[in-house]
Chain A
Amino acid sequence: MFAAFDFDTVSQLTANGIINGAAYGLLGVGFALILGVTGRFHFAYSITYTLAAYFMFTFWDRVGLPIWPAVLLGVLAATALGVGMEQYIYRPLAVRAGATALLAIFVASLGLTIAGSNLVQLFWGSENQILEGPQQEVINWGDVAFLNFDLWSVISAVVLVSILAALMRWTDLGRQIKATRVNPELAEIIGISSHRIYLIVFAVGTFLAGTAAFWYSLKFSIDPAMGLRPVIFAFVVAFLAGTASSPIRVFLTGVAVALLEQYTSIWLSVRWTQTAVFVVLLVYLVVLAFEPRRVILSMFPQLAREKV
């Protein structure tokens, strides 16, 4: 059960953790933004992730575009899809369902995911597809080995999250997004259109997911079920970090989760590491349930709309 605890192994695991963490972090930031600002439990985030990969593949393989335009178009197409979900499904539903909106949106989101993942199988088949882009190279840095893809994915993730953080901190739009998240009624009173803000937030969140999907596809392959696990990690990271946290903090939480996943392999066999993260989530939720409400409310201000 106990593997050798040496510096080499730890460095490699750390590197792996950072690489995976960049993906988890990116997904977590996107999901936290959507959940935090709109309050919608956007389960269909997983299908926008998957479809980003398939769209890219289609543009590259079927339409014949070079890799980079194909990727860009693919991500943009998925982003349009995410925005479309908010515009044509979630929003009308929220207006109609009133008090039961949360459940109705969750169920609709579930339906979109089920329909989407099977549509993918119908049109593209269930076998794995390969996306071929730049040449894969292994980089050795001391005792640590990783791919060029890994390096670029981490850098791009850090850049994207930093841009988002800067946007949130210094631009008008960022302020308006934060305002909508923190006090939606007052935001409406001062003339911020929540409609517009929600669309923007869905666009940003979906874009981030699409980017993560790209790096995954390049390194591994594209398959219909690829969306489920990453998005579960997105939920985990978003909830652990708190949806009111800055993008940087959510991102770092993602890295922490990935590192945890890696380090547990030192003590536990691989079979357990898969489950370890979910066990941590479970423990966290249990602890949360027995904590004073004040703690929950401070982390998730959107839950503070209570009447007592």
Chain B
Amino acid sequence: MEQAEGLVTSAISGNGESPDALVVEGLYTGYGRKQVVFDVSLRVGRGEIVALLGHNGSGKSTTIRSILGLLPAQQGAIHYRDRNVTGISSSHRVRDGMAMIPSERFVFGDLTVLDNLLLGAGKERDEKVRSRRLEEVYELFPVLRERSHQRAGTMSGGQQRMLSLGLALMSAPKLLMLDEPSLGLAPIVVEQIFDTVARLARTEDLSVLLLEQNVGQAMRILDRAYVMRSGRLILEESAEQMRARDSYWDLF
């Protein structure tokens, strides 16, 4: 299992050169009166695959929704590629290369596969660029090419997951956040998806923040992991340290 090389430098260094795709400092967020996330700080370096682990309801999804800008940060700051994006709208963040795949309802079920993918291309006006990206997605997931005119909602769970990943990739993101991508999928499909993500991280300079309960599969591809419980970060470990554990039950 390859190790990502030397991406353990700290956040924003004095001379302005930041290798980090994402830095979150002291984030507090929630839904109205319901506070869910308390004082979360994390970072994702360029080309790194970082996992955010924790039990259901520990605040992982809420954290990434706040990173994307769907939820306001009540306290704290979010830096994306050396820019402070706290307070900037989510559509701007998406345009700058942030992408997220939610854990549920992650495709436009009533629309065709092709429509879904074209929607992912978003603001990209250049036809040539779009077609190229579409081709790349079809190369990654040939089944999508076969079913390009099929309604997304009629495909199997695994195929829909692939489509959701393809949708996200159409925007050529720099930071990809995945919310429980393995949910409800057969292990072989999960392996395929994770392998694809890992390959993209290495070759395309894509930074990945992965939320999972399925620690086992994630362990193969991640560089570092954070663990959350009841809205707070309780742990940060490298992949090696994680693997050395004999049980994960303590984390949950």
- The stretch among A117-125, A126-134, A178-186 that forms the contact with chain B is A178-186
A64 at the binding interface (Cβ < 8 Å):
no
- List residues of chain A with CB within 8 A of the CB of B118: 172, 175
Is B23's beta carbon under 8 Å from chain A?
Answer: no
A187 to B167 Cα, complex, angstroms:
12
Name B98-123 residues within 8 Å CB distance of A: 99-100, 102, 105-111, 115, 118-120, 122-123
B95 within 8 A of A: yes
Query: Measured between C-beta atoms, what is the minimum distance from B128 to chain A in Å?
Result: 16
Which residues of chain A have C-beta atoms less than 8 A from B109's C-beta? 182-183
Q: Is A176 interfacial (CB 8 A cutoff)?
A: yes
Residue of B nearest to A305 (CB): B105
Residues of A within 8 A of B95 (CB): 191
Does A8 reach chain B (CB closer than 8 Å)?
no
How far, in angstroms, from A178 to B91 measured CA to CA in the complex?
A: 18
**Is there an interface contact between B68 and A189, defined as CB atoms closer than 8 Å?**
yes
Chain A 211-255 interface 0/1 with B at a Cβ cutoff of 8 Å (1 = within): 000000000000000000000000000000000100000000000
Which residues of chain B come closer than 8 Å to A175, judged between CB atoms? Answer: 111, 115, 118-119
Q: Bound complex: CA of A176 vs CA of B123, how far in Å?
A: 11
B155 interface residue (CB < 8 Å to A): no
Q: List residues of chain B with CB within 8 A of the CB of A193.
A: 91
Does B207 sit at the interface, judged by CB under 8 A? no
Chain B contact-residue range equals 20 to 34
B94 touches A182 (CB 8 A): no
Contact A182 B108, beta carbon cutoff 8 Å? yes
Say yes or no: is B171 at the interface (Cβ < 8 Å to chain A): yes
* Residue in B105, B111, B120, B171 whose beta carbon sits within 8 Å of that of A185 in the complex: B105
| A175 vs B108: C-alpha distance when bound (angstroms) | 10
Q: Could you tell me which residues of chain B, from 181 to 204, have a CB within 8 Å of some CB in chain A? A: none
Inter-chain contacts of A189 with B (CB < 8 A): 68, 70, 90, 94, 100, 102
In the complex, are the beta carbons of B120 and A182 less than 8 A apart? no
Partner among A172, A188, A301 whose Cβ is within 8 Å of the Cβ of B110: A301
CB distance from B115 to the nearest CB of A (A): 5
Asked whether A287 is an interface residue with its Cβ less than 8 Å from the other chain, the reply is: no
Is A102 among interface residues, defined by CB-CB distance under 8 A? Answer: no
Q: Is A190 an interface residue (CB 8 A)?
A: yes
**Which residue on chain B has the smallest CB distance to residue A304?**
B105
Q: Measured between alpha carbons, how far is A244 from B153 in the docked complex, in Å?
A: 15
Contacts of A172 in B (CB 8 A): 118
Interface centre among A185, A186, A191, by most B CB within 10 Å? A191
Task: Give bound CA distance, A128 to B115, whole Å.
Answer: 48
Roughly how many angstroms separate A188 CA and B71 CA in the complex, as a whole number?
Answer: 12
- The verdict on A260 contacting chain B, using a C-beta distance below 8 Å, is no
Q: Which of B91, B108, B111 contacts A191 (CB 8 A)?
A: B91
- Residues A188 and B70 in contact in the complex (CB < 8 Å), given A172-B118, A175-B115, A193-B91: yes
> With A175-B115, A178-B111 known to touch, is A190 a contact of B171 (CB < 8 Å)?
yes
A191-B91, A192-B91 are contacts. A176–B108 as well, Cβ < 8 Å? no
Cβ-closest chain A residue relative to B124: A172
A207 to chain B, nearest CB (A): 24
Q: How far is the CA of A301 from the CA of B105 in the complex (A)?
A: 13
Contact A186 B106 (CB under 8 A): yes
Tell me, in angstroms, the Cα distance from A190 to B121 when the chains sit together.
9
Give Cα A73 to B71, complex, Å: 41
Q: Evaluate contact between A186 and B105: CB separation under 8 angstroms.
A: yes
- Closest B residue to A180 using CB positions: B108
Contact A185 B119 (CB under 8 A): no
- Bound-complex Cα distance A185 to B65 (A): 11
CB distance B102 to A190 under 8 Å? no
CA of A301 to CA of B91 in the docked complex: distance in angstroms?
A: 24
Considering the complex, which residues of chain A in the window 142-196 have a beta carbon less than 8 Å from any beta carbon of chain B?
A: 172, 175-176, 178-179, 182-183, 185-193
Instruction: List the A residue with the shortest CB-CB distance to B115.
Output: A175
Please give me the residue from chain B that is nearest to A191 by CB atom. Answer: B94
Interfacial chain A residues near B106, Cβ < 8 Å? 186
Nearest CB on B from A293, distance (A): 18
Give B residues with C-beta under 8 Å from A: 68, 70, 90-91, 93-95, 99-100, 102, 105-111, 115, 118-120, 122-123, 167, 171
Q: 23 A–B contact pairs at CB < 8 A?
A: A172-B118, A175-B115, A175-B118, A178-B111, A179-B108, A179-B111, A182-B108, A182-B111, A185-B102, A186-B102, A186-B106, A186-B107, A187-B108, A189-B70, A189-B94, A189-B100, A190-B171, A191-B95, A191-B122, A191-B123, A192-B91, A244-B110, A301-B110
